[in-house]
Amino acid sequence: MKEVEGMLNCFIGAETEVNGKIKTKGPLRIDGIINGKIYVEGKIIVGSAGKINDDIYADSIVIGGTIHGNIFAKEMVILLSTGKVYGNITTPRIIMEEGGIITGQCKINHLKTGKQ
């Protein structure tokens, strides 16, 4: 993740809570709490302290925290050992470390658009 961290477009810190939709281009890192849909043209990194309570639409997503919602990734999802997903995942590619949790369905599928 170091190669992306120096080029972040948006960072939500651990002491931050956002209520509402987020829409951005470029890499987004979340270490705080988001209560709302997220639309990113690019990559999302959810740190181990990050919590998202709604659906996510992005090119790729790295999950180290907790997501309560559905994930729609155009390229790939990487679920780290600390990651937890309580919802469905739709993506053409998924990588999952031992210890990661998914409570929902995984659908390996090519998405035509990031906005469902």
Each residue's pLDDT tens digit, 48-68: 999 999 999 999 999 999 999
Full residue range of the structural domain in which residue 50 is found: 2-108
DSSP string, the chain: -HHHHTT-SEEE-TT-EEES-EEEES-EEE-SEEES-EEEESEEEE-TT-EE-S-EEEEEEEESSEEES-EEEEEEEEE-TT-EEES-EEES-EEE-TT-EEES-EEE---S-S--
**Distance of alpha carbon 21 from alpha carbon 19, whole angstroms:** 7
Residue 47 lies inside a defined structural domain of this protein: yes
Residue 8 has pLDDT above 70, yes or no: no
How many domains are contained in the chain? 1
Q: How far apart are CA 6 and CA 42, in angstroms?
A: 15
Over residues 93-112, the mean pLDDT reads: 90
Residue 55 falls inside a structural domain: yes
Residue 6 lies in a domain: yes
In a domain, 113, yes or no: no
- When the pLDDT of each residue in the chain is averaged and rounded to a whole number, the result is 90
Confidence of residue 109 (pLDDT cuts 50, 70, 90): confident
